[in-house]
Structure 1
Amino acid sequence: MSSPQSQQDDATDAVKEPAMDMKFEVTAIPVADVDRALRFYQNLGWRLDADYEAGPGFRIVQLTPPGSEGSVHFGRGVTPAAPGSAQGLYLVVLDIDRARAELISKGVEVSEVFHHVYDTGVQERVDGPDPERRSYASYASFSDPDGNGWLLQEVQVRQPGR
């Protein structure tokens, strides 16, 4: 019987230490105009955690979406990536219709809700929420002023272990 402090690998009988926690907390998004991006994300209700400048070549801004443990960084000298090149940034929401309506009320252009089907073996985007309203299956998309692409994903019930 293995203790909570270690695990035994049945194949080798070697004792493994448990994995160290590694929490993904921030991602850098490339923007052309730091102040414009700051206004955009603050207008969404994101909390300003930091706005630090260390000379003309470096400024870092950190914001956190409501209820999130993860944040975004942007600024000058933060990432060499081209402004607008960050795509597939997910915001998980409990109610996609409500989240979409809230963004629209703040002046954000948001796609209609959609889901994917794989009938042909290829992912196909279909208008409307997932017919069964399964978690992880309904989306809406929007972009920030630079074109960085965000996806709202409806998750009402988390997968085990999440």
Structure 2
Amino acid sequence: MDLKLEIAVIPVADVDRAKDFYTGLGFRLDADFSTDRGLRVVQVTPPGSEASIIFGDGLTDAEPGSSTGLHLVTADLDATRRELIAAGAVVSELWHDADGVFHWAGETNRVAGPHPDVDSYGTFASFSDPDGNEWTIQQVVTRAPGR
């Protein structure tokens, strides 16, 4: 079987504000379609990603800002963090989890600074969109076998 994650739907309150935010961060605008019955679909793709996010009107019943656990990966977290901040995002300082396996929900178990022993999978930064949808950025310099 060959499956790839294509799209994640995120709930937003103001579609145009979300569109401006994500395209301002450098996400590629792939689509902005509306129907005469009020359905609106905006699709944006993070730089370098094969998967996209969509948001709009009539796409989800989820509360705006309720998405958590959205993850992006980058080989250079320091540089990516600087670029996102320059584009207007409020991005946390680098952090790692005290257990070193992945990370807990929210800010539980966070330790300031990059992971001291590994350059891949152990260091994170985070930010939220204007509605509060939470993103985590994970540094992956060398992918584990099979990933």
Q: TM-score, normalised by structure 2?
A: 0.92
- Consecutive unaligned residues of structure 2, counting only runs of 5 or more, are none
Question: What is the aligned partner in structure 1 of residue 130 from structure 2?
Answer: 145
Structure 1 portions without partners, runs of 5+: 1-19
Indicate the residue corresponding to 1:69 in structure 2. Answer: 50
Structure 2: distance between partners of 1:56 and 1:133: 51
1:84 and 1:56 map into 2 onto residues whose CA distance is: 24
Secondary structure of the structure 2 residue equivalent to 1:62: strand
What is the CA–CA distance in structure 1 between the aligned matches of 2:55 and 2:117, rounded to whole Å?
Answer: 37
Is it true that 1:44 corresponds to 2:35 in the alignment? Answer: no
How far apart are 1:117 and its partner, in Å?
1.3
1:107 alignment counterpart = 88
Does structure 1 retain, via aligned residues, the 8 Å contact 2:89–2:127?
Answer: yes
3-state secondary structure, aligned to 2:111: strand
Alpha-carbon RMSD across the aligned residues, in angstroms, is 1.5
Which protein has greater RCO, CA pairs closer than 8 Å, 6+ apart? 2
d(CA) in 2 for partners of 1:54, 1:104 = 35
Give the corresponding residue for 2:75. 94
Task: Spell out structure 1 runs of 4+ moving beyond 3 A.
Answer: none
Cα deviations across residues 80-134 of structure 1 (Å, max 9, x unaligned)?
1000000110010001110100011111111000001129xx9521000000233
What is the CA-CA distance between 1:57 and the residue it aligns to?
2.4
CA shift for structure 1 position 160: 0.6
Query: Matched residue of 1:24: which SS?
Result: coil
Does the 8 A contact of 2:69 with 2:135 survive in 1?
Answer: yes
SS of the residue 1:108 aligns to: coil
- Residue aligning to 1:129: 114
Q: Which structure has the larger Rg over C-alpha atoms?
A: 1
Query: Cα offset for 1:55?
Result: 2.2
How many residues get paired? 141
Partner amino acid, structure 2, of 1:30: P
